[in-house]
C-alpha cells in the first residue's frame, strides 16, 4: 500500500477501479476545463470527483506496458472527455481572457490560491525542507513572471516552446495543485494554443474539413501534443518517484509554486490598443494597419484600477478561491 497524493490510499498491485465510469467522464470534463483555465489544476479536479488515485494507477500501468483493460478504459474515458471539453470551449475562454482580462485574471488568482489548502493538507507541518523548497518554488515563479521565456517580441514562439508547454500541461494533469493553463499563461503560450485549438475546430467543423486551414493550427498543436504524450509517459513516473523519495521537498516546492503563481497574475495588466510606431508581431504599426490588428495581438500595458474595479477584483478572487475549496470539499466527502 502507498498513499496517493490527496490522502487517498492506492495499492501498488491492483487498486479497485471505480465501477461507475460516469465519474471518470465527469473528472475528464473538469480536467479539460482546468487545463483551459489558468489557476485551476487538472489533478485537483480529478481529486475532487474521487478518481485521482485510480487515474494515477492507470497511467502507471500503461507507462510500464501493463495493458490492463480497466486501466485502458479509464484512461480512454478521462482523456476523451477532457479533449472534448478543450475542443468545444477553447475559443470561448480565449475570448474571455482577451476581452475581459482583469475579470478573468482575478478569478485565476482565486482559483490558484484555492489550491494552497489542497497541498497544505498533504504537507501537514512546516520544517526546514518544506520552507526551503517552497522558497525555491516562489523564486522560480517570480523569475518566470518577469522573464516570460516562451514568447518572443512578435508574440510567436518556436516549436520547442510549444513542446515544453505540452510537457507542462501533462505535469499539471498528473499532479494536483499545479495549473498547466497558468504556466502557459506566464510562458506566453496560453492564447496562441487556445487560438490554435479554436482554429482547428473551425477548420474541421465549420469549413468542411478545409485542409489548407489545418496547417497553421497543426504547427502549434502537433508539438503541444508531442509534449503532452512525452509528459504523460515520463513525467507521471518522475513525479511518483519524487513523491516517494523526496516527498516533503516536492510538496514544499509545489506549495511555493502555488503561492508564487499570483505574482504573474496582476489583474490590471491588460492589452491596450497599439499606437502608430509600435511593433506588433515583428511589424511596425502604421496608421493604415491599426484597424487590422486583432485584440489578442495588442501589447500589454499596466493600468491603474478604479476603486470599483479593485473591490470587484477582490470579490472575484474570493469567489475563485471558494469555488476551488468547494470542489475540494466535495471530493473529500465523495472519498470519505
Q: pLDDT digits over 199-224, tens only?
A: 887 777 766 666 666 777 888 888 98
Asked if residue 217 belongs to a domain, the reply is yes
Q: What pLDDT shows up at residue 135?
A: 94
pLDDT at 315 (0 to 100) = 95
The per-residue pLDDT for 4 is 43
CB neighbour class for 269 (10 Å; exposed up to 12, middle 13-18, buried from 19)? middle
| CA–CA separation, 95 and 169 (whole Å) | 21
Q: Which domain holds residue 304?
A: 2-267+278-335
Give pLDDT, residue 142: 81
The reply to whether 224 falls in a domain is yes
Instruction: Give the model's pLDDT for residue 2.
Output: 41
Contact 260, 137 (CB under 8 A): yes
The pLDDT of residue 15 is 41
Note whether residue 75 is domain-resident: yes
pLDDT at 313: 92
Question: Does any domain span residue 93?
Answer: yes
CA 92 to chain CA centroid, nearest Å: 16
Q: Note the pLDDT tens digit of each residue in 146-167.
A: 765 444 444 456 778 888 888 8
Q: Is 273 contained in some domain?
A: no
Going by C-beta distance under 8 Å and a sequence separation of 6 or more, which residues neighbour residue 245?
Answer: none
34's grid cell: 482546468
What CA–CA distance (Å, rounded) separates 211 from 274? 33
Task: Give the pLDDT confidence score for residue 209 in this predicted structure.
Answer: 63
Q: How far is CA 60 from the centre of its chain?
A: 21
**Looking at the domain assignment, is residue 141 inside a domain?**
yes
Q: Output the pLDDT for position 159.
A: 78
C-alpha cell at 220: 502549434
Q: Rounded CA gap, 269 and 297, in Å? A: 14
User: What is the 3-state secondary structure of the chain?
Assistant: CEECCCCCEECCCCCCCCCCHHHHHHHHHHHHHHHHCCCCCHHHHHHHHCCHHHHHHHHHHHHCCCCCHHHHHHHHHHHHHHHHHHHHHHHHHHHHHHHCHHHHHHHHHHHHHHCHHHHHHHHCCCCHHHHHHHHHHHHHHHHHHHHCCCCCCCCCCCHHHHHHHHHHHHHHHHCCCCCHHHHHHHCCCHHHHHHHHHHHHHHHHHCCCCHHHHHHHHHHHHHHHHHHHHHHHHHHHHHHHHHHHCHHHHHHHHHHHHHHHHHHCCCCEEECCCCCCCEECCEECCCCCHHHCCHHHCCEEECCCCHHHHHHHHHHHHHHHHHHHHHHHHHHHHHC
Q: How many domains does the chain have?
A: 1
CA distance 167 to 223: 10
On the CB side of 249, how many CA atoms lie within 13 Å of its CA? 7
Beta bridge partners of 270: 301
Instruction: List beta partners, residue 10.
Output: 2
Residue 106 inside a domain? The answer is yes
What is residue 248's predicted lDDT score, i.e. its pLDDT? 92
Asked whether 170 and 228 are in contact (CB, 8 A), the reply is: yes
Q: What angle do CA 82, 179, 17 make, to 5 degrees?
A: 45
**What confidence score (pLDDT) does residue 194 get?**
77
What the block records as the C-alpha cell of 131 is 520552507
Residue 156 pLDDT = 57
Taking the alpha carbons at both ends of the chain, their separation in whole angstroms is 18
> Distance between CA 91 and CA 106 in Å, rounded?
20
CA Rg value for the chain: 20
pLDDT at residue 312, rounded to an integer: 94
Within-domain flag for 272: no
Tell me which residues of the chain have a pLDDT lower than 50: 1-19, 149-155, 282, 333-336
Amino acid at each position: 500500500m502507498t498513499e496517493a497524493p490527496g490522502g487517498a490510499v492506492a495499492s501498488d498491485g491492483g487498486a479497485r477501479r471505480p465501477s461507475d465510469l460516469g465519474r471518470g467522464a465527469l473528472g475528464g470534463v473538469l480536467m479539460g476545463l482546468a487545463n483551459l483555465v489558468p489557476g485551476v489544476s487538472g489533478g485537483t479536479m480529478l481529486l475532487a470527483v474521487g478518481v485521482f488515485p485510480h487515474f494515477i494507477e492507470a497511467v502507471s500501468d500503461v507507462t510500464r506496458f501493463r495493458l490492463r483493460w480497466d486501466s485502458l478504459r479509464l484512461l480512454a474515458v478521462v482523456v476523451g472527455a477532457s479533449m472534448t471539453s478543450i475542443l468545444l470551449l477553447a475559443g470561448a475562454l480565449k475570448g474571455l481572457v482577451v476581452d475581459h482580462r482583469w475579470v478573468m485574471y482575478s478569478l485565476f488568482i482565486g482559483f490558484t490560491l484555492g489550491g494552497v489548502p489542497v497541498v497544505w493538507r498533504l504537507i501537514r507541518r512546516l520544517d526546514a525542507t518544506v520552507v526551503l523548497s517552497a522558497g525555491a518554488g516562489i523564486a522560480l515563479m517570480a523569475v518566470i513572471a518577469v522573464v516570460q521565456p516562451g514568447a518572443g517580441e512578435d508574440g510567436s514562439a518556436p516549436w520547442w516552446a510549444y513542446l515544453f508547454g505540452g510537457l507542462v500541461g501533462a505535469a499539471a494533469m498528473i499532479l494536483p495543485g499545479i495549473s498547466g493553463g497558468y504556466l502557459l499563461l506566464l510562458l506566453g503560450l496560453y492564447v496562441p494554443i487556445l487560438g490554435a485549438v479554436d482554429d482547428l475546430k473551425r477548420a474541421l467543423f465549420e469549413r468542411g474539413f478545409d485542409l489548407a486551414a489545418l496547417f497553421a493550427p497543426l504547427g502549434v498543436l502537433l508539438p503541444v501534443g508531442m509534449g503532452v504524450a512525452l509528459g504523460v509517459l515520463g513525467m507521471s513516473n518522475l513525479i511518483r518517484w519524487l513523491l516517494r523519495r523526496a516527498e516533503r521537498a516536492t510538496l514544499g516546492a509545489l506549495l511555493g509554486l502555488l503561492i508564487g503563481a499570483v505574482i504573474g497574475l496582476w489583474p490590471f495588466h491588460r492589452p491596450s490598443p497599439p499606437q502608430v510606431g509600435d511593433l506588433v508581431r515583428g511589424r511596425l504599426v502604421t496608421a493604415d494597419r491599426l484597424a487590422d490588428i486583432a485584440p489578442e495581438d495588442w501589447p500589454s500595458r499596466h493600468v491603474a484600477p478604479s476603486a470599483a474595479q479593485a473591490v470587484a477584483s477582490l470579490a472575484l478572487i474570493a469567489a475563485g478561491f471558494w469555488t476551488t475549496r468547494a470542489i475540494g470539499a466535495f471530493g473529500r466527502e465523495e472519498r470519505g
